[in-house]
A and B are shown apart, each in its own frame.
Chain A
């Protein structure tokens, strides 16, 4: 197995809760001794309820948060070494939840160029990268538009393009669909899969919509900063009761199959699509 692109050992992040007057009330452990390895080229979904620590975890992958005692390595680089931060951010790009709060440029292509500009990439090379990103994200026609005129899904594609222009090996998407409508959500998830498949970019998708994790290679369910379960989608989706207890849900068809199984119908484990269920019931 090639060296992990993301590797964490006992990653722990604690912060002090304060009351209204600013007096410390207690310590919250957002990430709790998390150890995991993500192989290059994988599509990993990290799911968990709000407050499960998934976003805090994501921020460690981009050296936006740096652990004190435990460690995170991105492509072998230790995020505790400050002089590597730029390299780390070029290796693991990050897309955030609210598209409006991460687009800096007032024209689509100028925004996409922002990362490479900061990296000091020569102008001709920036042009090349921007064009490539526009093409990969199917945004050529929106090149000169103001981001304010785009739909939510398109804005998130601009955000992804902006990260892509930095030529990262890994993209971390931190709840990229939370503010989008179903079309926008589908658009973003499709895009993430395409980049993973065609460009071989490692994708780490953070979400609380289990439906979006159906096509991932591997799902990690976080709760209270710890791994509550992990495995292939089928393995995870088979545990309907546990997921509901973790304030998550399964797609309705999976839930229906689960209900039928519980009533004694002989069905395979963890049905993920309507087609599968119909086929299982008609043969």
Chain B
């Protein structure tokens, strides 16, 4: 699935005194099979942006095209679109409601109007993919741990078999162990299913470790868009809008400035380690 945002602007409460702009003239192409990190401050327009991708919000100006079709068109089937562009919101507590985990995961595919057998098959498959043990399937989703709830929420969207998976801060509130597990789960899902993943995150380190493209939002506009190396090479510009680069990048940059022969555009601890060792062995 190819998603194109064409000069999209969004104003909340347009035509009222409360009007405030959330997106300003955003043009983006979200392509096939990539792992995209979306970063920016609270209020930079990230949430507004992702809600345009599955038609939960309509642009005040501009258009969103999914595979060439304008999703704001009256006859466009936005419900089907939501099956193709899966969106997992930040708190699983906002979507879990069924008596047991399995039924909850069935909710999405059922809404797509699939036959019961297919619904159950998909739910089963999705639960397997997020790595939940079978004994959890008939438990109440409210009795699970934070990490498990998160998995159920992801499975609930995966069961619709989306081609694009958007996750809004999927690690919020999890401990570091839980975060690591969820992130590597997402990375493996992306590889195995060839999905496009859009990960909204506040952690530069996480984004650097997993994404092959980073979009930086600031004040409703796209501030940067490139590979992690390209984006984090502009540490000063990022700092100006109050964002940091990963510590590993910062270390290498400073070493480079101090005259050491290390590449300043590394983005992960492992890369930095290799670079520094290389430099010291020379």
A and B touch in the complex (CB under 8 A): yes
Q: Is B240's beta carbon under 8 Å from chain A?
A: no
Which of chain B's residues have a CB closer than 8 A to the CB of A253?
A: 247-248, 250-251
Q: Is A1's beta carbon under 8 Å from chain B?
A: no
> Which interface residue of B140, B178, B254 has the most chain A CB atoms within 10 A?
B254
CB of A265 within 8 A of CB of B280, answer: yes
CB of B174 within 8 A of CB of A50, answer: yes
Inter-chain CA distance A252–B270, complex, in Å, is: 10
Name the residue of chain A whose CB is nearest to the CB of B242: A183
Q: Is A27's beta carbon under 8 Å from chain B?
A: no
Q: A181-B42, A252-B248, A282-B260 are in contact. Are A247 and B178 (CB under 8 A)?
A: yes
Q: A277-B251, A281-B276 are in contact. Are A248 and B139 (CB under 8 A)?
A: no
Q: Is A86's beta carbon under 8 Å from chain B?
A: no
Q: Which of A4-12, A59-67, A197-205, A255-263 contacts B (4 or more CB under 8 A)?
A: A255-263
Number of A-B contacts (CB under 8 A): 87
CB of B176 within 8 A of CB of A260, answer: no
Q: Is B78's beta carbon under 8 Å from chain A?
A: no
Q: Is A151's beta carbon under 8 Å from chain B?
A: yes
Q: Is B146's beta carbon under 8 Å from chain A?
A: yes
B176 contact from A181, A248, A277, A278, Cβ within 8 A: A248
Which of chain B's residues have a CB closer than 8 A to the CB of A20?
A: 139-140, 143
Inter-chain CA distance A219–B277, complex, in Å, is: 32
Which of chain B's residues have a CB closer than 8 A to the CB of A179?
A: 172-173
B255 contact from A183, A184, A265, A278, Cβ within 8 A: A278
CB of B273 within 8 A of CB of A263, answer: yes
Inter-chain CA distance A5–B94, complex, in Å, is: 40
Inter-chain CA distance A210–B175, complex, in Å, is: 10
Q: Is A208's beta carbon under 8 Å from chain B?
A: yes
Inter-chain CA distance A151–B176, complex, in Å, is: 24
Closest chain-A Cβ to B205's Cβ sits at a distance in Å of 5
Q: Is A128's beta carbon under 8 Å from chain B?
A: no
CB of A50 within 8 A of CB of B260, answer: no
Given A20-B139, A50-B147, A248-B177, 20 other A-B contacts at CB below 8 A? A49-B176, A181-B202, A182-B202, A210-B176, A244-B177, A247-B176, A249-B176, A252-B205, A256-B247, A256-B272, A256-B273, A259-B273, A260-B276, A260-B277, A263-B277, A274-B250, A281-B255, A281-B260, A282-B255, A282-B258
19 A–B contacts, CB within 8 A, in A order: A20-B140, A20-B143, A49-B175, A49-B178, A50-B146, A50-B147, A151-B42, A178-B173, A179-B172, A247-B175, A247-B176, A247-B177, A247-B178, A248-B177, A252-B269, A253-B247, A256-B247, A260-B277, A278-B254
Interface set of A (CB-CB < 8 Å, partner B)? 20, 49-51, 151-152, 178-179, 181-184, 208-210, 244, 246-249, 251-253, 255-256, 259-260, 263, 265, 274, 277-278, 281-282
